[in-house]
Structure 1
Amino acid sequence: MAKEYKAKIFKSGNSLALRLPKALGLQEGVEMVVREEHSKFVFEPADKPKRRIDVSKFWGKAPDLEPLTNDDRGFDPSPRPWDDPDWKGWGNKAG
């Protein structure tokens, strides 16, 4: 059986607030979504936006890794059929 807690509703400004027990393990400032389902209230943490990965601390993790030079950055040529003179469409102009 699930644990049961009592919570108290109180006035906060022009709104009502629900004081939740610390035993639930919620942290202050966490945004929650509240919805009504079948005459009951359900609350859950709001989806957090995707965090960007901070790669600034990765530098130095591979000390034997050397930066690429401009000569190392070359790509192998990618063969394309229209570059082949034996291709049946070579030299034909559309139109």
Structure 2
Amino acid sequence: MSQEYRAKVFKSGNSLALRLPKGLGLKEGTEMKVREERGRYIAMPVDEKPKKIDLAGIYGSAPGFKPFAREERQFEDRELDWEGKLLKGA
């Protein structure tokens, strides 16, 4: 069974705030989504955006590599077996 906590709503500037107990394990600065559903409030962390990879540091590190020309990017048709279904030219 989950732990139950009590918290009070208080005024913070022109808004209302809810102080959440440390025991919930949230980290300071965590962005939360809050929605009201039939008189209950549901709060959950916002999914973090995938981090972008910076490839600037590796540019030029493969001097023998050259981009493919358009005609080199064409592939021959072949039969593929995905999940037991034979697909031609997929």
- Asked if Structure 1 and Structure 2 have the same fold, meaning a TM-score greater than 0.5 normalized by the shorter chain, the answer is yes
Aligned to 1:25: 25
Residue-pair matches, total: 70
Post-superposition Cα deviations, 1:8-53, rounded to whole Å, max 9, x if no partner, equal 1111001110000001000111110000112110000112222112
Q: Aligned equivalents of 1:36 and 1:43: distance in 2? A: 9
Query: CA RMSD, aligned part only?
Result: 2.8
Counterpart amino acid of 1:19? R
The match for 2:52 is 52
Match of 1:9 in 2: 9
After the TM superposition, list the runs of 4 or more consecutive aligned residues in structure 1 that deviate by more than 4 angstroms: 54-57
The structure that is strand-richer by fraction is 2
Change in Cα spacing, 1:14 to 1:56, as seen in structure 2 (3 Å) is: same
Q: Give the gaps of 5 or more residues in structure 2.
A: 75-90
Larger radius of gyration: 1
Structure 1 length normalisation: TM-score? 0.58
Amino acid of the residue matched to residue 67 of structure 1? A
